[in-house]
Amino acid sequence: MKLAVLASGYGSNLQAIIDATKRGVIDGRVVLVISDQRDAYALKRAEKHQIEARYLNPKNYASREDYDSAVIVLLKERGIDLVVLAGYMRLLSPVFIDAFPGRIMNIHPSLLPSFPGLGGVGQALKYGVKVSGCTVHFVDENLDTGPIILQEAVPVYDDDTEESLHQRIHSVEHRLYPKAIQLFVQGKISIEGRKCIIHER
């Protein structure tokens, strides 16, 4: 299976995914990394692993749809089976969703539907929850609302800072995201309504 990862920043989840493909935790290969940020360290990580790394400048496109269409062309040309968002800071247009139905995943640093959108970790701390976590879900046309594949809880401590909580959540993400991707690769996920059923044999 061919995976593409879209990332805007540091790419720590991208790294976890690449490592998982090398170790055989994911039976697939990352063949393409796309970023909307020229300086995204995620692009460097791709290059280090001889993975095609592409920067597409949003300023060169008139609309979000135009930009997404250019991304879609690349994804289709490379025969991508699954699109993995890893800290990709752009909302996908319906054009994108329709081009890869049920084949776009995202990870979010909260137990959705709590604290969607930007700054999920900070939102959780501010609210004062005692349990947070992370969520891997399929992407639909709305923000962080798609069918949930996997979730895992993480404790929140009274003396947590945004950084300490983020770190705790990140370390779970780096295990949970590869696991969800492998379930997809193995054909073990079916979507029924807005529920994901996991078929473990």
Active site residues: 108
Q: 80's torsion region: left (phi>0), alpha (psi -120 to 50) or beta?
A: beta
Instruction: Please tell me whether residue 164 binds its own copies under the rule CB under 8 A.
Output: no
Question: Which among 1-9, 74-82, 147-155, 161-169 is the span making contact with its own copies, rule CB under 8 A?
Answer: 147-155
Q: Which of 27, 44, 63, 131 is the binder for its own copies (CB under 8 A)?
A: 131
What is the distance between the alpha carbons of residues 90 and 190, in angstroms, rounded to a whole number? 26
Between 42 and 111, CB nearer to its own copies: 111
- Cβ 27 to its own copies shortest distance, Å: 23
The answer to whether the beta carbons of residues 29 and 10 sit under 8 Å apart is no
Q: Packing angle between helix 12-23 and helix 41-48, nearest 10 degrees?
A: 20
- On whether the CB atoms of residues 170 and 14 are closer than 8 A, the answer is no
Task: Please state whether the peptide bond connecting residue 113 to the residue before it is cis, i.e. omega within 30 degrees of 0.
Answer: yes
The one segment of 24-32, 66-74, 88-96, 191-199 that binds its own copies by CB under 8 A: 191-199
Query: Which of 130, 163, 187, 201 forms a contact with its own copies (CB under 8 A)?
Result: 130
- Which 8-state DSSP code applies to residue 158? T
Q: Do residues 83 and 74 make contact, with C-beta atoms less than 8 angstroms apart?
A: no
* Measured distance CA(6)–CA(52) in Å, rounded: 12
Is 111 one of the binding residues for its own copies (CB under 8 A)? yes
Supply the minimum distance, in Å, between the C-beta of residue 128 and its own copies.
4
- Shortest distance in whole angstroms from residue 179 CB to its own copies: 12
Which one of residues 85, 104, 112, 181 is an interface residue with its own copies (CB under 8 A)?
A: 112
- What residue ranges bind its own copies (CB under 8 A)? 111-115, 126-131, 133, 147-153, 158, 193-198
